[in-house]
Structure 1
Amino acid sequence: MSWRNAAVALLCAVTTPVLADASPSPAPAPIPCPKSAEPNPERPPRPSPPPDVPAHRTVGGKQLDSAGLVVPAGVPDPPANTAVSWLVADLDTGKVLGACGPHEYGTPASVQKLLLAATFLDKLDPQQIVTVVHEDIAIPSDSSAVGLVENGQYSVETLWLGLLLQSGNDAANVLARLGGGAGGMAAGVQAMNQHAKWLGAYQTQAVTPSGYDGPGQFTSAYDLALIARVCFANETFRRYQLTERTQIPAQPPKYEGFEIQNENQLMSKYPGAIGGKTGFTSLARHTYVGAAERDGRRLVVTLLGAEPRPQRSWQQGAALLDWGFSLPEQVSVGRLVNPGEPLASPSPSAAPSNPDGPAEVVAAAAESRWTTMFFFGTGLAIATGMTVLAGLVRRARIRRRTDA
């Protein structure tokens, strides 16, 4: 081989980077969640959710980005249930103890009323008397209702009790209209959505104040836990939740008063229950939020898309609460973020300080580091190659002069 060919071969060898296979390894398949035998109900097709935002699926920790079962290592399996997605968390520490598809989109039904409470409970005077207008009671025939009447006058506190005890869609409309001020009910719903984002519930989009089905209305099991945590931190909310029954005042001369009762059976049948909310539409199926306290520890469970057999939704929630209480306090698979906590910025600088942040943050940082190393290595190799080539040329010239 001539010196020119040898030099070119050496230069190519030192300047060609050795690259590992850069193709990403396939993500492991989600672990199936334990399922109860469930009927095959006739239900409308599930609505198409909005496109996933990767950063939203990792709110609370990278482990929560799963469509399947997420539980701490070494703990007993959670009880089987019929819910499409669920989550169990500690109301006080914010630790997520386990979940199934925590960031999967679901349809809320009446558990969305908790977002209405989280948004306006502290902003409305409970003693204010409100007059009901026709728009408030113009609800579909299959809606749950307290039984408010047009031109009837009710205190805001009575409306909250009607909302939380009897899941009144009519009460939800009045409260959202009142909370929306001059903008009315539409402004109230807009405020709910803004509040959801402030809480970190990025997958929640309200279309109706009551949770009655509307196009584009979604939430997730994780978001519901965030909302519930804020509600149960509110003393007034806890007092309303513990109310067993209340009187809806008469509206003379035509309408007599009547009594309503708390519909959440967890309250009367589960020791330590502190409240929650039921929900159902034919589209959403059964949705549920329940909370209980045991030995100074407060847990919350959220379920979306459950069926009422072989157990009612509150019973499935109770079984998950039992499972959560059986776990050591230190275990978790993530956390409930705090209200106002900013979403991790998808920039390379965020990766080192937030190892549990969104996956794309870590990927971007790794890609940036690899790019820097590649170009640095290439430049070094080129410089080395040129030095070797120059040396070969000098040696060849010396050899040619000597041979002459």
Structure 2
Amino acid sequence: MAEDQAVGGSALATAGLVTPAGGPQPPGVTATSWLVADLDTGQVLGACGPHEHGTPASVQKLLLAAALMPRLDPQQVVTVTKEDLDIERGSSAVGLLVGGRYPVETVWLGLLLQSGNEAANVLARLGGGAEGRAGGVRAMNEFAEYLGARQTHAATPSGLDGPGQFTSAYDLALIARVCFADPTFRRYALTETHRIPAQEQLGKKGFQIQNGNPLVGRYPGALGGKTGFTSLARHTYVGAAERDGRRLVVTLLGAESRPMRGWEQGAVLLDWGFALPRDASVGRLVEPGQPTPTPTPTQSPSVTPPMAADPRPAADESLSDGVTGPGPLLVAAAAGVGGLVALIVRLVHRSRRRRGRLRA
């Protein structure tokens, strides 16, 4: 709906690039939509197709954390069921065992550090009460509505592709803002390693997991975030960092991993955001419980209309893992690509076909 596109300010109702007038142009990235915002003031510093529909992949786990982390006792011990391990073969998992007993804190760390899809199922079931996992997903959608995330709907707690599942770069920033306001989440997001406890009753030893978000440890002032990937969503990313007392968040959807991986695209967009004046703004993140469009900023933004899609084929995913340098940059302002992706997502959801697996 048109009013949904204007949430946060009328300048954000574009499928193209919107940046502060007179400021430097953002770096070229392959993400079909992205947004950079100030976590504390809520000011949106710049975006490309911020309200365009996209597929979340594993960054949806942030919505699970925002909705359920305050509800669950981290010291409670939960027993994993066979249904909790009902995830796509080959998708990301922590290695929780049926019949295993784990502190909820360990399950959260497995979710955020290793993107465990079975961990997402455990937490959604636990937080869903009598309704189980379905209740957890319902709680996620209710929380998204409360935040004003009008272009977000969860079908799975993990971000594995499901019918009718979508989000936007703007909505992800609303969700991330809640997550990074929680000191427990911030501590988890910066945890480098964690030991999964032994399950002596099952004859299994414990093991160590590592933080899978490369921003942590490689980007000065990193606060953490979440990576995601399915073949439908492509690469998705949410990351935050602090510099000179200023905390920024970046969200991006539909990225290819060449010439830069998703987190690297997030890093260069954070660099761009930190280089902008503190009063730079093209809109704002609405406050929870008040999902009404805010006035347009007094500083007139620069809006670049959508451009034609890049005719070059997508990068070969099988060659992406070894690429670490920036290389030649593609232009994210090709928002014609974003509009096409949004259309494809809607058609896929309409046909209720599932495609792809979560990797990140």
Question: TM (normalized to structure 2)?
Answer: 0.81
- 1:330 is aligned to 2:282: no
- Residue 305 of structure 1 corresponds to which residue in structure 2? 254
Pairing 1:189-228 to 2, within 5 Å after superposition: 189-228=137-176
- Residue 36 of structure 2 corresponds to which residue in structure 1? 88
Q: Using CA pairs below 8 Å that are at least 6 residues apart, which structure has the higher relative contact order?
A: 2
- Residue 122 of structure 1 corresponds to which residue in structure 2? 70
* 8 Å CA contact retained: 2:239, 2:266: yes
Distance 2:291 2:143 in 1: 14
Report the Cα offset of residue 355 of structure 1. 4.9
- Residue 53 of structure 2 corresponds to which residue in structure 1? 105
Distance 2:291 2:121 in 1: 31
Pairing 1:238-387 to 2, within 5 Å after superposition: 238-252=186-200, 253-343=202-292, 355-356=295-296
Structure 1 outlier segments of 4+, above 2 Å? 354-357
Give the letter aligned to residue 122 of structure 2.
V
Give the letter aligned to residue 29 of structure 2.
N
1:181-225 Cα offsets, whole Å, 9 max, x none, are 000000110110000010110100000000000011000000000
* 8 Å CA contact retained: 2:286, 2:292: no
The alignment partner of 1:113 has SS state of helix
Distance 2:266 2:191 in 1: 20
Name which of 122, 129, 133 aligns with 2:81: 133
Q: Identify which range, 250-259 or 98-107, moves more after superposition.
A: 250-259
Report the Cα offset of residue 85 of structure 1. 0.2
1:279-325 Cα offsets, whole Å, 9 max, x none, are 00000000000100000000000010001110111111100000000
Give the letter aligned to residue 145 of structure 2.
K
Distance 1:227 1:135 in 2: 27
1:43-94 Cα offsets, whole Å, 9 max, x none, are xxxxxxxxxx111111000000000000010001100000010000000000
**Kindly tell me: are residues 156 and 101 of structure 1, through their superposed partners in 2, closer, same or farther at Cα, counting changes over 3 Å?**
same
Name which of 49, 53, 77 aligns with 2:25: 77
Distance 2:285 2:169 in 1: 11
Report the Cα offset of residue 356 of structure 1. 4.2
The alignment partner of 2:217 has SS state of helix
Distance 1:343 1:254 in 2: 54
Distance 2:242 2:111 in 1: 23
Q: Percent identity over the alignment?
A: 72
- Residue 116 of structure 2 corresponds to which residue in structure 1? 168
Report the Cα offset of residue 342 of structure 1. 4.0
Give the letter aligned to residue 96 of structure 2.
L
Gaps of 5+ in 1: 1-52, 345-353, 358-404
1:106-146 Cα offsets, whole Å, 9 max, x none, are 00000000000000111000000000001100111021000
The alignment partner of 1:267 has SS state of coil
Report the Cα offset of residue 156 of structure 1. 0.4
Give the letter aligned to residue 265 of structure 1.
P
- 1:153 is aligned to 2:112: no
* 8 Å CA contact retained: 2:147, 2:291: no
- Residue 29 of structure 1 corresponds to which residue in structure 2? none
Give the letter aligned to residue 245 of structure 1.
T
Give the letter aligned to residue 105 of structure 1.
H
Report the Cα offset of residue 256 of structure 1. 1.1
- Residue 182 of structure 2 corresponds to which residue in structure 1? 234
- Residue 5 of structure 2 corresponds to which residue in structure 1? 57
* 8 Å CA contact retained: 2:156, 2:162: yes
CA RMSD of aligned residues (A): 1.1
Q: Identify which range, 78-87 or 137-146, moves more after superposition.
A: 137-146
Give the letter aligned to residue 286 of structure 2.
V
Question: TM (normalized to structure 1)?
Answer: 0.72
Give the letter aligned to residue 146 of structure 1.
V
Distance 1:168 1:194 in 2: 23
The alignment partner of 1:303 has SS state of strand
Distance 1:200 1:78 in 2: 27
